[in-house]
Structure 1
């Protein structure tokens, strides 16, 4: 059997129960199973003050330089850290030629409201709908 593209998981777990940690790792494994990816390992930040260059993240960057590694998988962008740190980490992941995959993508707080008149006008043309995985 041929394995799918290789990914490594990344979790930020500060004061998290063992049950929650197991559930998050299981969600990464399920995502990989359903998307034909091979989860080769999971790196975990456990310190709230961990900056963009934490030991776990440095280890992750090291394995991303291995041949045939496709990218990084996290449950959500928040697992990369607070917004500024997450942005820097995302940039570093892309800089080494890897992709950042998220199990849950952030969504707008409120979905757009479409009136029935607007919906009727849109139905006259062709609308291409893309799911979150596109």
Structure 2
């Protein structure tokens, strides 16, 4: 009798990481890479490499991003993992890069989902307190 699938070494879908590291310490870089690896481990994904975009640029076609697009064209590549959407660049660049990633048929996975914008709740009101005061007595006889 063969072992269950959970007991066999099975490779998960192949993903590639993408980090934008502009003026980031070595410790922060290591932590970000570790967070991608941990996300992939817990979601049964195979992290095959991480592309790192270092220069601050206003062009969506950096060398790292072009390399990422090249590997996304390989067969059996599931998608791209990034810590957050901001790692694709400022909003206009991130939007263009997202479009280009999705155009390849790959999925864009974010380890940290964007926070939902919540409105501040109304201040909680304490229940009305009864204060001792004069007692009005009504005449029961009419």
Q: Which moved more, 1:101-110 or 1:82-91?
A: 101-110
CA RMSD of superposed structures (Å): 1.8
> Is contact 2:58-2:93 (8 Å) kept?
no
Decide which of 5, 9, 28 is 2:17's aligned counterpart. 9
Q: Which secondary structure state, in structure 1, belongs to the residue aligned with residue 19 of structure 2?
A: strand
Partner of 2:45: 37
Partner of 1:102: 110
Partner of 1:126: none
Which entry has the higher C-alpha Rg, 1 or 2?
2
Q: How far, CA to CA, are the matches of 2:26 and 2:117 in structure 1?
A: 30
Shift of 1:112: 7.2
Partner of 1:46: 54
Query: TM-score, length-normalised on structure 2?
Result: 0.77
Gaps of 5+ in 1: 115-134
Structure 1 stretches of 4+ moved >4 Å: 111-114
2:74 counterpart of 1:66: yes
2:86 counterpart of 1:78: yes
Decide which of 20, 25, 35 is 1:27's aligned counterpart. 35
Q: How far, CA to CA, are the matches of 1:3 and 1:11 in structure 2?
A: 23
Q: Which secondary structure state, in structure 2, belongs to the residue aligned with residue 52 of structure 1?
A: coil
Query: TM-score, length-normalised on structure 1?
Result: 0.81
Q: How far, CA to CA, are the matches of 1:65 and 1:21 in structure 2?
A: 27
